[in-house]
Amino acid sequence: MKNEVIYPWGHKKRYNDFSSYFKSIHNERVQKVSIDAGFTCPNRDGRKAYGGCTYCINKSFSPSYCSSGKTVSEQINEGIDFFKAKYKSQKYLAYFQSYSNTYAPIDILKNLYSEALSHPKVIGLVIATRPDCVNDEILDYLEILAKDYYIVIEYGVESCNDKALEYMNRGHLYAEAKEAILKTANRGIHIGAHLVMGLAFDTYETMINNAVELSRLPIETLKIHQLQILKDTVAAKQYSEDPAQFTMFTAEAYIDFVVDVIERINPHVYLERFINQAPKGMIIAPNWNGMKNFEFIAKVEKKLEERDTYQGRLYNE
């Protein structure tokens, strides 16, 4: 019988998956509960631009219990009710997910975060935000919270290619993302980063290089997902006018692409997500026939085995 390989991250999976790591540091199951706290973004409210990112519709990824018309506590309780039927005993992370969740004065942020952390089942925060929406005052406060709670900042970097960022109406350049990540490091705050694969002006090679570049920075987790063209977005109009400007992966091609990324990035970075799953009725392209996350992961793991490769095999420090 062939001996199973145990990789440097301590298990036999061919990539350093976040789920295994997360289970190893907690004594019980921990679930994210999404929250819409009524934030906006500086490329929505006019400070930098209007309309937001060209591909974004927040309702495409927000659970039904999320609503800015409810308090943070109400959303947490409804989220717990949503999950507890399936998982009887667990703790929760309050996931401030919608829009830019540090884009407010510090006193407002303190009130919102404190309300979430006051729930007896909440052990920490996951805060999704933009790299141009943090400052030293906010990071200093989160550093204090991180001494007692599990605190994550997820930075929407989206691309390291400034042309791609400008075309998607992002309102910041890659240098600001890099600066924000470096300012957040060494504070006890867990740092995540997010990339979108398939944006205009990003080629196959630049998309891989984006992931490699980010993996060299002091991030802990990386999320990537394929670009989805959704109805009622600026990207939908751009796509109808010139579909060739975007990379619309087939599921099979994206599996190969993900494996190309995995074998080139820093093996110390935990990989948390590979695909996006917008509601079927909202998607214009690409059509993957409702492929689920677990199905995609199984195909990636099979492809890694077929190619006899693993995370970091081609990584050069």
- Model confidence pLDDT, tens digit, residues 99-156: 999 999 999 999 999 999 999 999 999 999 999 999 999 999 999 999 999 999 999 9
Residue 199 forms part of a structural domain: yes
Nearest alpha carbon to residue 191 among 134, 276, 255: 134
> Is residue 4 in some structural domain?
no
pLDDT (mean) for 86-94? 84
For residue 208, what are the domain limits?
Answer: 18-306
- Whether 190 and 218 have beta carbons less than 8 Å apart is answered as no
What does the pLDDT read at residue 85?
Answer: 78
Q: At what angle do helices 136-145 and 174-184 cross, to 10 degrees?
A: 40
The answer to whether position 65 is within a domain reads: yes
pTM: 0.94
User: What confidence category does residue 216 fall into, taking pLDDT thresholds of 50, 70 and 90?
Assistant: very high
222 part of a folded domain: yes
Q: How far apart are CA 268 and CA 9, in angstroms?
A: 8
User: In 10 A of CB 273, how many CB atoms?
Assistant: 17
In this structure, is residue 294 part of a structural domain?
yes
Strand partners, 45: 50
Mean pLDDT of the chain: 94
In a domain, residue 313? The reply is no
pLDDT digits (tens, 9 = 90+) for 40-85: 999 999 999 999 999 998 765 556 667 778 999 999 999 999 888 7
The pLDDT assigned to 32 comes to: 94
Q: What is the CA radius of gyration of the chain?
A: 19
- Contact yes or no for 269/215 (Cβ under 8 A): yes
pLDDT band at 28 (very low <50, low <70, confident <90, very high): confident
Ranges assigned E (strand) in the chain: 30-35, 91-96, 122-129, 150-158, 190-197, 221-226, 229-230, 270-273, 283-285
**What is the pairing mode between strands 190-197 and 221-226?**
parallel
Cα–Cα distance, 243 to 158 (Å, whole number): 20
Report how many domains make up the chain.
1
Q: Determine the pLDDT at residue 4.
A: 81
Q: Where are the beta strands (DSSP E) in 39-184?
A: 91-96, 122-129, 150-158
The CATH number of whichever domain residue 155 belongs to comes to 3.20.20.70
CB 191 within 8 A of CB 215: no
How many C-beta atoms surround the C-beta of residue 305 within 10 A? 11
Q: Are 3 and 64 in contact (CB under 8 A)?
A: no
Q: Is the pLDDT of residue 1 over 50?
A: no
Residue 1 within any structural domain of the chain: no
Spatial contact of 165 and 206, defined as CB atoms under 8 Å apart: no
Tell how strand 229-230 and strand 283-285 pair up: antiparallel
* 3-class SS of residue 305: helix
Residue 79 lies in a domain: yes
